[in-house]
Every structure is written in structure tokens, then in C-alpha cells.
Amino acid sequence: MIVAKFGGTSVGAIAEIDRAARIVQSMHNEKPLVVLSAMARVTDGLLNAGEAALAGKARERDDILWEIRGRHDQVILELLKNRATAESVRQVLGAVWEEMQKVFTGVSLLREMSTRSRDLISSFGERLITPIFAAYLGELGLRAQDVDARQFIITSEESEFMLVDFDETRKRCQKLVKVAKSGVVPVITGFICSTPEGVTTTLGRGGSDYSASIIGSCIQASEIQIWTDVNGVMTADPRIVPEASVLERVSYKEAAEMSYFGAKVLHPKTIMPAADEKIPIRIKNSFAPDAPGTLITAETPVHLHGVKTVTSITALMMVSVEGRGMIGVPGVAGRVFTTTAQHKISVLMFSQGSSEQHISLVVSRNDGDDTVKALRREFSSEIERRRIDRVLGVSDIAIIALVGEGMKGLPGVAARAFGILGDAGVNILMIAQGSSELNLSFVVKQKDAPRAVQLLHHAFELDALRV
């Protein structure tokens, strides 16, 4: 059995859905389980409609929702030639549509949108596309069944953060194994899941990749395929570096690092379930299915200069706690982390100078002001006594990361990187290296980020890379 996930652009319009369905048809002997994202831009649209409802802008809310409905109706009309099939899909979507209207009306009336409502709102995109896709596979002569992942992927109740209960999910997924083995293709909603009480929740934006690997690991698939709109994992984001090359092989560790540091092609959580079960992940282009794609496994060739990709994350804030009075005072770093944890702020990067005068962390820009406020409160008495001079937030910064297994034990990577950036006048605000020596990450001003990525890509000869 293989799991094949198609992203938003791969099911973004009629021609794309047709192409994706034919790819599934071509792998029919391998007993595929299909995982789908919402059509391109639908999840964004739903969330925007939610914001409009919250702001009391009913007209804007309805315009967005009708546009979403119109797109799906059009697909049904043009794609499904069998009238009875089209009619039954319309009925299924009609029920989803009714639920949507109730939820959005609720937000408009209450002028309130909790995390729970937001999750429910963003779940509709995946629920609208799977019935259409399953019906179309039927028209291509396959047996297919639309599957709501909320019945299968269950979160753990032990944590307030979203964690998947793999034992429960594995148990439930056995049903899908039976379906697939009987020759029926399950067409499963990506991104969404449910709590043990049956409340709708999601795996986070871009989370359909993670859905695929959760299901793949729970059914012991022979391969997890991520079908997207590029030829594979590339040496850099092709929108920043047009000459970026496709990597034929990447290790689980490299893929985890590069996705964590901004390579959007994979959701960062995708790797672990697959790596635990040693299931290969293959990234493929649904617009060019014959291209070999990227294979992600435990082992990988390394590159001459060690580095395989240059990635970046923007929209961040760097927060520093500074003061000479911190020297030798135990527990400052501990209190910084306790404070961020208490406020549920996720820290992307952390560094402390050896003189202990300076602790810096990087958080998402959305969490930036809260982080500064919380740390000022936490250290208020130290600030008053001048043991800490200040807690400072610097916005508009970016993290740049170099990733590659070949960097391990290879001297000169940092020198080459910082030399190039120094020559180009790009100022480096903070540096961190993972102890695994698999990545070197540093902070620059956001305006410098694209140029820094391009310079590094060139300096490590990644345009010519073929591994």
C-alpha cells in the first residue's frame, strides 16, 4: 500500500484534479490511499471569511463563501459527466454547505471566534474536495470512497498542545487497510482530525503532509508520496533562487531540518512518523509526473561542500535580555524558557553569549510583543535593580539556515558563509549551530534575507548540485 497526498495546487482546478486522478489511476495496483488538501486558496478564503464575520462584514463574508462554493460547483458541473454521480455529490456538499452557513452565522452573531471555531471553519475545504475527487475516480473506473479523517486521526487528550494519539489512530486506521486491500481507494481529508471527544481540530497550516505520514506510518505503507507543484525538494526556495536544483536524495534528518527552517515543500512534522517506521517519502510533481522527484530515506549521499540547501524563515522577532548583572546569576535562561512556555510561545532559535550578558531568542512576529511584555514582567525586579538593562524586541528579522549531513566535521562551512555575507555587507545578528552539526542557522535583517539566500546558494555551488 502507498499513501499519495496531493496538495492544494495539485487539486486547484478542473485540469489539475483530472491529472491527479489519473496519477492515482496509474498506481492502482499498489493499493493507494489518497490524502487531499483543500483546493488552492480555499483554506485562506475560509479563514478570511471567518475574520470578515468576526468584524461584522457580512457582505464580504458571503462574497468569499459564494466564490468558494462556485468553484466547487463548477468542478462538479464540468468534471462529473454521470448525472446521478454529480447529483449525489451535490447532496453531500449541500450538507457541508449548510453546516458552514450555520458556523459562519454563529461567528457573525457572537462576534467571537475561538480556536475551536477557527479549526472548524478551516476544516471545510478538505471536506468539500474529497467527495468530488472520490466520485471522479469512480468515473475513471476505480472504486473509491470518500473518508473523513476525523474518524481516524485522533489527538491526545493529555496535552493542551495538539499531539496525535498514535495508538488510537493506528487502531482506527486498520479499517482503512481493509478498504484499500479490498480494492477500494480511500480518498481521505488531509489536515483535519478530531479530539477524543469528537471535536474538530487541525494539524496546523500545511498539515496535510503530516496527515499523509501519520496514516502511512499507522498502516505501515511501503511509501508515502507527496505530490506537489515542484519537481522535488530543492536546494533553495525556487521563488527566491530561480536556478535552484532538485535534490534526488535527502535524508530524514536533512528533510526535518530544512522544513523546520522554512522549506515549505514539507510540513516539518511529516518526517518523524515516517522515519520511525523507516518508510520512504517521495516528493513528486503532479504537473510533471515522469520527473524522478526526491526520495527521502535514512541514508543519503553528501555533497562536496557539505551544504545541501539554504532556507529562510521571515516574519520573526528577535528578543534579547541584556545586562551585565546577569553574569554568574543562575537560572536566567531557565526563567526565560519557563516564561515563554507559560505563554505558549514557541521559540524557534536561542543563543547565549559566553559572558552571559546576553540571551537572545527568536519567535514568530505574532508572538513578539507578548514575549517582550512577558519577559519584562518576569524580570521586573532585576530591571529595577539594574541587574538587567533591558528586554529588547527587534522586528523584521529572518532566520537563514544551511542544512546538510555533509557539514558534520567539515571545517570551514561557517567561515565560507560568513565571509560571503560579510563581503556583501549583510550583518549577522545571531548565530546557532545544532549539536548534530547538520545545520548552521543565523539571523539577519529581513530585507537582507533573499540576497543572503542567493549569495549562499551560489557560494556553496548548489546551482550545479546533483545528488
Interface residues toward ligand ASP, by CB under 6 A: 7-8, 37-38, 43, 125, 190-191, 205-208
| Minimum separation from the CB atom of position 217 to ligand ASP (A) | 17
Q: Does 238 bind ligand ADP (CB under 6 A)?
A: yes
Q: Report the nearest approach of Mg ion to the CB of residue 76 (Å).
A: 25
239 is in the binding site of which of ligand ADP, Mg ion, ligand ASP, none (Cβ under 5 to 8 A by kind)? Answer: ligand ADP
| Contact predicate 257/401, CB 8 Å | yes
Beta carbon nearer to ligand ASP, 43 or 371: 43
Inter-residue contact 339 to 375 (CB < 8 Å): yes
Stretch that binds Mg ion, among 7-15, 185-193, 283-291, 311-319 (CB under 5 A): 7-15
> How much of the chain is in helix, strand and coil states, percent to nearest 5?
45, 20, 30
Output the DSSP codes for 91-106: HHHHHHHHHHHHHHHH
| β strands within 136-191, DSSP E | 143-147, 184-189
Minimum separation from the CB atom of position 104 to ligand ADP (A) = 24
| CA gap 411, 368 in Å, rounded | 35
Q: At which residue does the C-alpha cell 524558557 appear?
A: 337
283-286-292-297 Cα dihedral, nearest 10 degrees:
10
CB of 248 to ligand ADP, least distance (A): 13
Site string for ligand ADP, 187-226 (x = CB under 6 A): -------------------x--------------------
- Check residue 410 and report its DSSP letter: -
Restricted to residues 34-73, the positions that interact with ligand ADP (CB under 6 A) are 37
Residue 238, Cβ density class (10 Å: 0-12 exposed, 13-18 middle, ≥19 buried):
middle
Q: 309 touches which of Mg ion, ligand ADP, ligand ASP, none (CB within 5 to 8 A by kind)?
A: ligand ADP
For ligand ADP, the closer of residues 86 and 240 by Cβ is 240
By CB under 5 A, tell whether 12 contacts Mg ion.
no
Q: Does 125 bind Mg ion (CB under 5 A)?
A: no
233 binds, among ligand ADP, ligand ASP, Mg ion, none (CB under 5 to 8 A by kind): ligand ADP
Helix axes 83-110, 58-79, angle to 10 degrees: 170
- Which residues within the stretch 271-300 sit at the binding site for ligand ADP (CB under 6 A)? none
Within positions 177 to 206, which residues make up the interface with Mg ion, using CB under 5 A?
Answer: 206
Work out which of 233, 302, 401, 453 binds ligand ADP, going by CB under 6 A. Answer: 233
Closest to ligand ASP by CB, 123 or 439:
123
First to last CA, the chain: 27
Stretch of 14-22, 157-165, 230-238, 423-431 contacting ligand ADP, by CB under 6 A: 230-238
User: Could you tell me which of 96, 106, 203, 103 has the C-alpha nearest to residue 149?
Assistant: 203
Does 9 engage in binding with ligand ADP (CB under 6 A)? Answer: yes
Length of the chain in residues, anyone? 467
- Report yes or no: 137 and 25 within 8 Å, Cβ to Cβ: yes
Using an 8 Å Cβ cutoff, are 169 and 117 in contact? Answer: no
Q: Give buried/exposed letters for 30-53 (b at 16+ CB in 10 A, else e).
A: ebbbbbbbbbbbbbebbbebbbbb
Residue 9 parent element (H or E): none
Residues 376-404: b if buried by 16+ CB within 10 A, e if exposed: bebbeebbeeebbbebebbeebbbbbbbb
Select the binding partner of residue 207 from ligand ADP, ligand ASP, Mg ion, none (C-beta < 5 to 8 A, by kind): ligand ASP
Nine-digit cell at 398? 529572518
Which residues have C-beta within 8 Å of that of residue 145, sequence separation ≥ 6?
A: 134, 179, 184, 185, 186, 187
> Is residue 138 within the footprint of ligand ADP (CB under 6 A)?
no
Q: Which stretch binds ligand ADP (CB under 6 A): 27-35, 66-74, 175-183, 237-245?
A: 237-245
Residue in the shown chain whose Cβ atom is closest to ligand ASP: 208
Which of 145, 200, 309, 340 touches ligand ADP by CB under 6 A? 309
**259 makes contact with ligand ADP (CB under 6 A):** no
Counting contacts by CB under 6 A, is residue 137 touching ligand ADP?
A: no
Q: Is 125 in the site for ligand ADP (CB under 6 A)?
A: no
CB of 286 to ligand ADP, least distance (A): 8
The CB-of-364 to ligand ASP minimum distance in angstroms stands at: 16
Contact footprint for Mg ion (CB under 5 A)? 7, 206
Contact footprint for ligand ADP (CB under 6 A)? 7-10, 37, 206, 228-230, 233-234, 236-239, 263-265, 309
